[in-house]
Structure 1
Amino acid sequence: MTDSAVPKHAQDLDIFDEWPDGLRAFFDGSSLATKIGFTASLVTNDANGHLRTSLLGIGELYVPDSRRLCLALWPQARAARALAQNRRAALTFVFDEAFYQVQLAFEPLPVVEGAEEELKALGGLVCFSGSIDTGEAQRVRYARITSGMTFELAEGKDATFERWIEQVEYLKKAAAQA
């Protein structure tokens, strides 16, 4: 079928089991200030079988290698409870004019040896490492996805940003130790 014979409403679907280079670079924990506003949706399944969505910012996500994603969650977050229980989730977001959905299998990250006080200072975060089962990037030919959910840091933005830097640094250590 030639390009002119492909319907304009056709969808392009890229399937992957390793992070594409652009995403791996985006989630590498660097230049967080330029990525403020990025929002990902973590969809988990709770104890009652209900799907729940948690919104995550760039300071809660880190990709240490081609197949993993590390998360830093508040210990009281329902996503933390759901991941501890069933260890499966989907991460969805918009990046580079595409809608991404990544299915992951999670394991808790052990506390970094000698960093108990650092973790306590960060609010007792619960950290997980997820391995990609499958990922999809969807694009349509008739439109460009220009953004997904985005946010702006409000009161306490400097403190939030500093916490994100510390959280991602902790995730880097935990991922390296795992």
Structure 2
Amino acid sequence: MSNQTWEADKAHSEAGFTISHLGIAEMSGFFKDFEIKIETKTEDFSDATIEATILTDSLDTRIHDRDHHLKGADFFNVEQFPKATIISKKIINIGHGNYSLEADVTIKNITKTISMDLFYHGKAENPMSQKTTAGFSLSGSVNRKDFSIGPEIPNLLLSEMVAIQFNGEFIV
């Protein structure tokens, strides 16, 4: 098989996060503008490389005032740091569609290597577009303080760990 590049079908993909607030509730948000690309030479994606670029100004928690605060200097500082990236370094096929992914995550020009879980849901032909479509879920967590996101916000108010999740369909 020759090298194939799969790109996220934005109508059927999402990039989100969840964080604990006050230690009693989970708050979620998502990024409306992102690009995710998967390159592979194998049918089972066992050699895949993944690149994701998230435009931080597209953050949406459904609460305007909170979004404005999160986009400011205390958190994402979107004017100075307009994008975040995830670039895979290593993928390990665990079996049955499960993969372990090691990736470099860059937020606010700070890069940390994290482990993520990747699940390959399979392929199907989309009857509307007539294109082969592959489904994936990617999840992991980052420590917000490692990326200087809300470093002065106490852990009692917001957990240090933030779950990140990408779900989507990809077309060649």
TM-score of the pair, normalised by structure 1: 0.29
Higher-helix-fraction structure:
1
TM-score of the pair, normalised by structure 2: 0.30
Which of structures 1 and 2 has the larger relative contact order (alpha carbons within 8 angstroms, sep 6+)?
Answer: 1
